[in-house]
């Protein structure tokens, strides 16, 4: 199994990889960690937004490719409060 890209594995990241060679081996691995370490008020939003990326992303995260990533994010992650720095933005800022 190869590493896979995930939206919002952490509240302050847009895209990260899970799998072999990564800190988290799977989405479920990170979800378990969230249940153990994050406040219950954060769980629903984190779990809704954290999902495998369907489209193709560049394996490197170069700034020149950031626009492509942002465009893919807008397509795949509907109703997302991501403000470029965190998912806890807008009406979710108080979680």
Residues 26 and 19: their CA atoms lie apart, in Å, by 5
Least distance from Zn ion to the Cβ atom of residue 7, Å: 5
Helix segments in the chain, DSSP class H = 27-37, 40-49, 66-76
**6 forms part of the interface with Zn ion (CB under 5 A):** no
Does position 15 bind Zn ion by CB under 5 A? no
CA distance 82 to 88: 7
Residues 27-56 that bind Zn ion (CB under 5 A): 49
User: Is residue 5 a contact residue for Zn ion (CB under 5 A)?
Assistant: no
Contact track, Zn ion, 57-86, x by CB under 5 A: --------------------x--x-x----
Rounded to the nearest 5 percent, the helix, strand and coil shares of the chain are 40, 10, 50
Please give the residue ranges that form the binding site for Zn ion (CB under 5 A): 49, 77, 80, 82
């Amino acid at each position: 199994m190869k590493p896979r890209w995930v939206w919002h594995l952490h509240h302050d990241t847009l895209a990260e990889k899970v799998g072999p060679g990564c800190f988290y081996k799977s989405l479920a691995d990170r979800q378990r960690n969230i249940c153990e370490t994050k406040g219950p008020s954060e769980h629903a939003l984190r779990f809704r937004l954290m999902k495998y990326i369907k489209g193709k992303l560049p394996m490197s995260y170069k700034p020149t490719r950031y626009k492509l990533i942002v465009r893919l994010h807008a397509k795949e992650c509907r109703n997302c409060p991501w403000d470029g720095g965190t998912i806890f933005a807008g009406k979710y800022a108080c979680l």
